[in-house]
Structure 1
C-alpha cells in the first residue's frame, strides 16, 4: 500500500485499463498517471473522470478521480510481465497488474481485500443479487458495499472468469453481477446462497436501457465498451441514429432487430430468469421465467425500492442507515412518449413478457 495514493483497478484487458486513483492528502488535485511495460511508456491518463459511486460512499469528495488507459490495438499489454502504473514523472509504483487476479480477460487489484476477507466471519448463506440493468441495481450495490463489513461484498463479478464464481461464495457475504439465472445456477451451490433481484416497470426499464446504450457509445470520456465490447458499442451507435420520437422510425426499429441486438433489448428482464438465451422470447419462456422466480428469496421492484431495502435488511439481519440517493440515473431527455397508447403498442413486443413477470411480482 502506498501511503500517499489510493488506487483501485476495475477493468483491464490488453488494450484497456480503468479504475480510480487520488492523492490521500490532496484529493481535489487530479493525479497524472502513466502505464509502463518493459520500461516503455504505453499510455497516459488523468484521474479526473467522475465516479458517482465513490462520491456516494464518501470515499472521495467530488468523485472526480476515475481514469482509463487505452493502448494501441496492434501492440497489447502482456500480463505475464510487469505492467506498472506510476504517477507521472515518478518512479513510485502504484500498481503492478501482473501480480493480481484476473478480471475477464484482464486483472483486478484486490489482494489487500482478499487478506481482509480471510479475517472476516463468513455468514452461513451468501446473498447473491442478480443485477438486471436499469432497475436500481447500482444503487443497491453501493448501499450493500457500505453496510457489509469491508471486503465481504463484491459486485460486477461478470468481469471475472466464470471459473472463479464458485469460490466467491466461500469468502463473500454479498455477491452481485449482471449474471442471468442459468449462469448463477451453473456456478453456485443453491444450498449455500439466497437469490435476490429487482424488477422495474418494463416500459420505463426499456427506455432507460436504450438511453444507456446510446450514451455508452456517445461517451468519449469512457471508451471501455468501444475497446472491449464492440457489440454493445455498435448497438449504441445504431440506436443513436434512430429517431425514436417518430412512430414510423420506432416501428422499423422494433421490427428489424437481429438476434444479437434482441439479446439486449427484447424482454431483457425475462431473459435474466431463463437458463438459456432464445433468439426472441416466446410464451414458453414466460412460463419458465415465472416459474424460476420462485427460486428467489426476495424480488423487489424499483418503484418500491425502499421496501426492498428494508426487507433485504431484515432477512439478512443488516441495519441499513438512511438510504443513499438513487444512482446511475440518466439525465437525458425521454426518447419517446410513454404516455402514448400508440407508442406503447409499438413497443409491446419488446416488453410483453416482462410485463407478465413484473405484474406477478408487483401485484401478487
Structure 2
C-alpha cells in the first residue's frame, strides 16, 4: 500500500542517521521534518523499536533496515550503529526539561499511556518534583546522563548501581563525544540548520514546532525548597550539559572557519 503522507521535497540521506531523542528537547520537530520527506519504510521513530526482538543481534539488524532511526532509546541500544551513521542528539537545561515534561504529563492521552503522567496528575507539581516513586525517578533523576551512559529505566540503573557518580558522568560524556553533532534546545534553529547542512539537505528549518508547550511552567512556579530539591536530582545532568555546550561551541567554531 503506498505511503499516503504528503511529501515535502523528499530527501536522499548520504548515510543512515541516528537521532538519540531525549524527551522534551524539541526532538519531535526533527522527527516530523524527516517523516514528511522520507518514505514510511525508511523511518523508525518514537516507540517503533519497542516492537523489535529483544536479542541484541536481531534488534540491531532491524535498526539497520532504516535510513532514519530515532527514539527515546539509550546509548547502549544504538552504540554499534554510530560509527556507520550520522548521529546526533539534543540536550536541554535540566530544570526546564523537567518542567516541560510535567506540563506534557497533564495531557489526558499521556495519562492513559504512562505511569509517570498519572503520577504527575495525582501528585501535583511540587510533590511530583520530590517524589521517589520509581516511575518518577526514572524520568527525573539525571535522566539525560543515564540515557547517554546506558538507558534510564530502572533495570539499567540497577545494572550500573556499583559505579560512582563520577564514573557515570565520565561514561556519558565519553559517549556524547561519539556523536557527529550535539545540539542544544536553546539554539535549536542553528543546530538543526547545521545538521541539515551536514546531511547535504538544502532546506530551511521549519518555523512550526511540534508539541510546543503552551503556557510553559518556569522556575517562578516553584518554591525555593522545591527548586533546590529538583536541582539536587539533576547535578550530573548539569555537568553533562556543560560538556555538551563545550562540544557545541567547538563545532560552531569549526564550521565558522
Residue 105 of structure 2 is aligned to residue 209 of structure 1: no
- Quote the offset at 1:241 in angstroms: 3.0
- Quote the offset at 1:207 in angstroms: 0.5
1:149-298 map, 5 Å: 151-156=41-46, 157-163=48-54, 165-185=59-79, 188-215=80-107, 219=108, 222=109, 226=112, 229=113, 232-233=114-115, 235-244=116-125, 250=126, 253-275=128-150, 277-278=156-157, 282-298=165-181
- Quote the offset at 1:322 in angstroms: 4.6
Specify whether residues 200 and 122 from structure 1 end up closer, same or farther in structure 2 by C-alpha distance, changes over 3 A only. closer
Residue 198 of structure 2 is aligned to residue 315 of structure 1: yes
- Quote the offset at 1:136 in angstroms: 0.6
Greater relative contact order: 1 or 2 (C-alpha under 8 angstroms, separation 6 or more)? Answer: 2
With normalisation by structure 1, the TM-score equals 0.55
User: What are the ranges of 5 or more consecutive residues in structure 2 without an aligned counterpart?
Assistant: 248-257
Q: Determine which of 19, 29, 39 is the counterpart of 1:139.
A: 29
Specify whether residues 307 and 170 from structure 1 end up closer, same or farther in structure 2 by C-alpha distance, changes over 3 A only. same
* 1:75 corresponds to: none
**Count of residue pairs brought into register by the alignment:** 233
| Structure with the largest fraction of helix | 2
Q: Structure 1 CA distance, aligned partners of 2:236 and 2:134? A: 17
Residue 242 of structure 2 is aligned to residue 359 of structure 1: yes
Cα deviation digits, residues 240-290 of structure 1 (max 9, x gap): 23343xxxxx3x555541334311221111111012522589343122111
8 Å Cα contact 1:145-1:154 kept in structure 2: no
Q: Structure 2 CA distance, aligned partners of 1:183 and 1:343? A: 34
- Quote the offset at 1:333 in angstroms: 5.2
- Quote the offset at 1:189 in angstroms: 3.8
Cα deviation digits, residues 62-84 of structure 1 (max 9, x gap): xxxxxxxxxxxxxxxxxxxxxxx
* 1:18 corresponds to: none
Specify whether residues 318 and 334 from structure 1 end up closer, same or farther in structure 2 by C-alpha distance, changes over 3 A only. same
Counterpart of 1:337 in 2: which secondary structure? helix
- Quote the offset at 1:205 in angstroms: 0.4
- Quote the offset at 1:181 in angstroms: 0.5
* 1:129 corresponds to: 19
8 Å Cα contact 1:147-1:318 kept in structure 2: no
Larger mean Cα displacement after TM superposition, 145-154 or 260-269: 145-154
With normalisation by structure 2, the TM-score equals 0.76
